[in-house]
C-alpha cells in the first residue's frame, strides 16, 4: 500500500491508497495521485470580467468561466459550497470538456478569455495548466480567481500561463484564517508576492465580515501590506459579506463599514480601492488617482461610462492607469 504526498498546496496531504487529499478531488489510486476532475467541470458559465472581480483587466469582456468540484479551503461563509465542499463523485452535473474542447467552446462563444474560478482552481491545477497553455496558443487570456493557498514552485510554473489573478486575502490575521477558512495566512502572503514577482496582473479582494475581520486597524494593516509589497496601483476590492453556508448568524456587512475600509486603504496610499456587492455604490467605479476624473463608471457588473484612452490613460491629465486594457497588450496586435 503506497501513500503519496501532495506538494501542491501548503497542506502537504499524505494520502493513503483509496483516499483523497483534503481537497476531495486529488485521489490516490494504486499509489498514483489522480486529478479526478480533469476535463470534468461542474460549473461552466459566461460572466462579465467585472464579476470575477477584475476591474483593470479587459473591462467589459465576456469571460468563459469554469470550475470543478473541490477546494483546499473550507470557509464557513463559502458562497459556492455546493461546488467547493464536495468531491467529483458527489456532483449531480458534469460537463465533458477536455482542454481542447474547452478552448474551442470559449472561442465559439466569442470569449477572448477563460477564467478558472468559483471553487479554488488550485485543486484542479493540471486541468488549468493544460487548458491555459492551449488558450494562450490561440490568443485567449487566462484569469485565475483564487484564495492563493498554494506552494511557491507550482505557482511559479502556473504564472507562466496565467495573465490575471484576483486573489482573496481573507483577513490580515492568522487566527482568522485558522478559524474561518481552515488555512494559514503566511503562505497566502507569500503567494501574492510571488504572483507580483512573476508579472501576473493582480487584484486583491478582502471580504469584510462583521465582527470577524472588520476592525479598522486590521484593515489598515492589510492595506499597508498590499501597498508596500504589491504596490499602490494594485486594485483592492472590499466586498460585502452575505450570511451563507455555516455563517448565517452574522448580518450582511453595513455599507458604512465598507466606506470606512475604503477610506483606510486610501489613507495608506492605495490608488484604486473598490467596494463590491453593493449595487450603485460610487466605489464600483474607477477614478483617476491624480485628478479624480471618472474613468470607468460601473453599476453592478455593467459598464455605464468609459473614458480611458486606448492606451489606458486618464483623458484629462494623461496619468497612466495600471492594468491590461486591451488584449493586444498581452499578445501583440492581431496579425
Partner 1 sequence: MTREPDRSSRQPERRRVLALLGGLGTLGLLLPWLRTSAPARPVQREISLHEADFYRPHDLAG
Partner 2 sequence: MYGPRHLYSRHIHERELRFLALVLLTGCVIALQLGEGLRLAGLQGAGWRAIDLPALERRIDVGNLSEHEAVWYHEATRQETHATGAEQRP
Interacting residues with partner 1 between 149 and 188 (CB under 8 A):
166
Angle at 129 between CA 127 and CA 134, to 5 degrees: 95
- List Cα–Cα distances, 247 to 160, 210, 227, 242, 243, in angstroms: 37, 11, 30, 9, 6
Nearest approach, Cβ of residue 329 and partner 2 (Å): 30
Interacting residues with partner 1 between 11 and 50 (CB under 8 A):
43-46
Q: Which of 47, 126, 259, 329 binds partner 2 (CB under 8 A)?
A: 126
Residue 302 CB: number of other CB atoms within 10 A? 11
- The span from the CA of 335 to the CA of 321, in Å, is 26
Q: Is 100 in the site for partner 1 (CB under 8 A)?
A: no
Site string for partner 2, 31-70 (x = CB under 8 A): xxxxxxxxxx------------------------------
Nearest approach, Cβ of residue 212 and partner 1 (Å): 18
User: C-alpha cell of 85?
Assistant: 465542499
Phi-psi region at 110: left, alpha or beta (left = phi > 0; alpha = psi -120 to 50): left
Give the number of C-alpha atoms closer than 13 A to the C-alpha of residue 148, restricted to the C-beta side: 28
Task: Single out the segment in contact with partner 2 by CB under 8 A; choices: 151-159, 221-229, 253-261, 277-285.
Answer: 151-159
Q: Which of 7, 18, 60, 93 binds partner 1 (CB under 8 A)?
A: 93
Q: Which is nearer to partner 1, 45 or 157 (CB)?
A: 45
Interacting residues with partner 1 between 51 and 90 (CB under 8 A):
51-52, 64-65, 67, 79-80, 83, 89-90
Closest C-alpha to 187, from 150, 238, 140, 141: 150
Which residues, including other chains, have CB under 8 Å from residue 215's CB and lie 6 or more apart?
none
Q: Out of partner 1, partner 2, none, which partner does residue 4 contact, by CB within 5 to 8 A per kind?
A: partner 2
- The span from the CA of 29 to the CA of 82, in Å, is 25
Nearest approach, Cβ of residue 224 and partner 1 (Å): 26
Contact between 317 and 293 (Cβ < 8 Å): yes
List interacting residues with partner 2 (CB under 8 A).
1-8, 11-22, 24, 26-27, 29, 31-40, 87-90, 94, 96, 125-127, 151, 153-154
Which residue ranges make up the site for partner 1 (CB under 8 A)? Answer: 43-46, 51-52, 64-65, 67, 79-80, 83, 89-97, 101, 105, 109, 117-118, 145, 166
Amino acid at each position: 500500500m503506497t501513500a503519496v504526498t501532495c506538494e501542491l498546496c501548503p497542506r502537504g496531504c499524505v494520502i493513503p491508497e483509496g483516499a483523497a487529499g483534503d481537497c476531495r478531488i486529488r485521489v490516490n489510486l494504486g499509489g498514483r495521485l489522480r486529478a479526478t476532475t480533469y476535463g470534468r467541470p461542474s460549473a461552466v458559465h459566461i460572466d462579465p470580467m467585472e464579476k470575477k472581480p477584475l476591474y483593470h483587466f479587459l473591462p467589459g469582456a465576456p469571460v468563459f468561466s469554469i470550475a470543478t468540484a473541490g477546494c483546499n479551503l473550507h470557509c464557513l461563509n463559502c458562497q459556492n459550497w455546493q461546488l467547493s465542499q464536495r468531491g467529483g463523485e458527489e456532483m449531480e452535473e458534469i460537463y465533458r470538456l477536455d482542454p481542447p474542447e474547452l478552448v474551442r467552446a470559449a472561442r465559439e462563444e466569442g470569449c477572448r478569455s477563460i477564467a478558472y474560478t468559483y471553487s479554488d482552481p488550485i485543486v484542479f491545477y493540471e486541468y488549468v495548466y493544460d487548458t491555459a497553455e492551449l488558450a494562450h496558443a490561440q490568443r485567449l487570456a487566462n484569469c485565475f480567481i483564487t484564495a492563493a493557498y498554494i506552494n511557491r514552485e507550482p505557482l511559479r510554473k502556473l504564472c507562466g500561463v496565467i495573465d490575471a489573478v484576483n486573489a482573496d486575502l481573507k483577513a490580515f490575521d492568522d487566527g482568522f484564517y485558522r478559524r474561518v477558512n481552515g488555512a494559514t495566512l503566511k503562505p497566502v502572503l507569500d503567494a501574492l508576492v510571488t504572483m507580483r514577482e512573476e508579472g501576473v496582473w493582480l487584484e486583491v479582494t478582502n471580504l469584510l465580515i462583521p465582527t470577524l475581520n472588520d476592525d479598522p486597524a486590521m484593515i489598515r494593516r492589510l492595506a499597508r501590506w498590499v501597498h508596500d509589497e504589491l504596490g499602490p496601483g494594485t486594485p483592492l476590492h472590499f466586498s460585502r459579506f452575505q450570511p451563507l453556508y455555516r455563517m448565517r448568524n452574522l448580518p450582511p456587512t453595513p455599507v458604512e463599514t465598507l466606506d470606512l475600509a475604503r477610506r483606510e486603504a486610501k489613507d495608506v496610499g492605495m490608488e484604486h480601492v473598490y467596494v463590491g456587492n453593493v449595487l450603485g455604490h460610487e466605489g464600483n467605479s474607477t477614478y483617476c488617482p491624480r485628478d479624480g476624473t471618472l474613468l470607468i463608471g460601473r453599476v453592478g457588473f455593467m459598464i455605464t461610462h468609459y473614458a480611458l484612452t486606448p492606451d489606458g490613460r486618464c483623458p484629462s491629465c494623461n496619468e497612466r492607469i495600471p492594468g491590461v486594457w486591451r488584449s493586444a497588450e498581452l499578445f501583440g496586435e492581431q496579425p
